[in-house]
Chain A
Amino acid sequence: MDLDGISSKVKERFPESILDASTFRGEITLYLRAEDILPICRFLHDDPELSFDYLTDLCGVDNHPHEPRFQVVYHLCAMKTKRRLRLKVSLPHGVPRIASVVSVWKAANWLEREAFDMFGISFLEHPDLRRILLTPDWEGHPLRKDYPLQG
């Protein structure tokens, strides 16, 4: 199934959710509305035809000074069909927050903690949202573009 196949299948179920879709170097990216991320992920995981059962990676991106500032990127993989898919959601400046997908893939647990640690993105209903690489009393989020490179 190519880009059209996947996006039409998602569109059928969530007509309002896909903001954009693109293919670059053979990689498919869907740009989604942030509030629908959890139901869409569950759908992509559970649907027998799509069956994206493997969360390869999850990370944050800071586009400062451009708006919307933060993005969360999900790299999915379907083991049955050997297909990869990238999901991107944009979060506004201020207090970026988005629903956690730990209930779909347990792999998201530490990955979301890392995005929280490095970008200050909150994942709602995460079972254990704490800093992971830095100490609890650390100030700031180092991978933000406005975090100083030198002390």
Chain B
Amino acid sequence: MAKTETMIINMGPQHPSTHGVLRIILELDGEVVVNATPDIGFLHRGLEKLAESKTYHQCIPLTDRLDYVAGMSNNLAYVLAVEKLLGMEAPPRAQAIRVLLCELQRIASHLLWLGTHAHDIGAMTPFFYALRDRDEILFMFERVCGSRLTPSFFRVGGLAQDLPDGFEPKCREFVGAFPARVDEYETLLTQNKIWMGRTQGVGAISAQEAINWGLSGPILRASNVNWDLRKVMPYCGYDSYEFIAPTGKNGDVYDRYLVRLMEMRQSNEIVRQVLDKMPGGAVTVDDPRVVFPPKPRVEESIEALIHHFHIASEGFPVPRGEVYASIESPKGELGFYLISDGTNKPWRFRVRPPSFINLSALPTMIRGKLIADVVAIIGSIDIVLAEVDR
């Protein structure tokens, strides 16, 4: 009688389909995955430790470097947490611009996911289409804050500055054109026999399992759990916009694809509504303790210069206490848990990283599947290793 034994193979950390530096130790029986052990931490920079020695304001650029394809969302979750500690709320115009930029960011993040995920599975064309359109959003971001990927644009109490002139027509042009672009992606994939064959029924996870594993974001909603923080615990005035949180039925790779495509359409509609309803007024709260003086004043007044210098170097004290604030980032529930000891630096700076927790369910999803499915399933979770490892 023939004796069979399993084989261990190593995938990553340098592997194009692991979207960064993820290593997975696969135990295989022929082509079937018997067990999978993810090995992470290759991108660990000790961000939570680092933040403990920075002022609340100096932590904002650190958050850019969590999920670096969705910098705006990271900024938002963090400043919401600090504002909650301070008992402060940003003015309506700042809230609207935050929603606008975060929804554009969601589209950009999903586009990068779509391009790379389809490419992993063997469809080359969507990559070019998706990155072409993502670049338009990054170009808009560059106009807004001078940077494509690391915005650091949101401030405690509002924004760094108002939107630049000429932003609105550019944004309206994008919003007008984008639905047809999504149709274009769909003609390439949604009814594509190969795409369906590679994704349907692959990596499925039930609603109950998904909740128990703490999954969040599109991957949770694809398992038919109607849970979107923008809907269930609205922040930044999301309850004043009309949109739906799409859900799937089977919780497989294909449904995650459909959910994300529908989300892009919904985000586009939210952006349109924000542009239509954009309130006027200031973009920061009127609180000199935490808000920088306007730049032109800093250049002509010594008091304003000292004020600026004081906030930049010393920061501002925050009341003693602890808060958890979270948002629906493109990847899922991104939360910040801050403990303040009443000084100008956080005592504990904890990130609730959606990618980390979503990735922890990977072995459950790939056990018993073929090795080629592993690539499809990793792509469908949409992880960013910088956020997993922090």
* Pairwise interchain contact B360-A27, C-beta atoms closer than 8 A: no
Q: A73-B337, A75-B352 are in contact. Are A27 and B48 (CB under 8 A)?
A: no
Give every chain B residue within 8 A of A57 (Cβ-Cβ). Answer: 324, 335, 337, 350, 352
Interface residues on A, range: 20 to 34
Give the chain A neighbours of B361 by CB distance below 8 A.
106
Beta-carbon nearest neighbor of A45 in chain B: B212
A25 touches B (CB below 8 Å) = yes
Interface of B is mostly: mixed
Q: How far is the CB of A104 from chain B (nearest CB, A)?
A: 9
| A-side contacts of B359, CB under 8 Å | 110
A106 to B206, CA, bound (A): 14
Closest to B226 in A: A79
Which residues, 201 to 224 on B, are CB-close (under 8 Å) to A? 209, 211-214
A143 contacts partner chain B, Cβ-Cβ < 8 Å: yes
Which residues of chain A have C-beta atoms less than 8 A from B85's C-beta?
Answer: 25
Residues on B with C-beta less than 8 A from A110 are 356-357, 359-360
- Residues of B in contact (CB 8 Å), total 38
Task: Let me know if A79 and B227 touch, CB within 8 A.
Answer: yes
- CB of A106 within 8 A of CB of B213, answer yes
Contact A75 B337 (CB under 8 A): yes
B23 at the interface (CB under 8 A from A): no
Once A79-B227, A143-B49 are accepted as A-B contacts, the answer to whether A27 and B337 lie under 8 Å apart by CB is: no
CB within 8 Å for A25 and B44 given contacts A57-B352, A111-B357: no
A149 sits at the interface (CB 8 A): yes
Once A27-B324, A57-B350, A111-B357 are accepted as A-B contacts, the answer to whether A132 and B40 lie under 8 Å apart by CB is yes
Chain A minimum-CB-distance residue to B348: A61
A143 to B347, CA, bound (A): 11
Hey, what's the 0/1 contact readout for A132-150 against B, CB within 8 Å counting as 1? 1111000000110001010
Given contacts A54-B214, A143-B49, contact A59 B337 (CB under 8 A): yes
Give the contacting residue for A105; candidates B212, B323, B326; CB below 8 A: B212
Contacts A25-B85, A142-B49; is A105 near B214 (CB within 8 Å)?
yes
Check if B352 sits within 8 Å of A55, measured CB to CB: no
> Could you show 7 A-B contacts with beta carbons less than 8 Å apart?
A25-B321, A25-B323, A59-B350, A106-B214, A106-B360, A107-B360, A133-B41
Interface residues of A (CB under 8 A from B): 24-25, 27, 29, 53-57, 59, 61-62, 73, 75, 79, 82, 84, 86, 105-107, 109-111, 114, 118, 132-135, 142-143, 147, 149
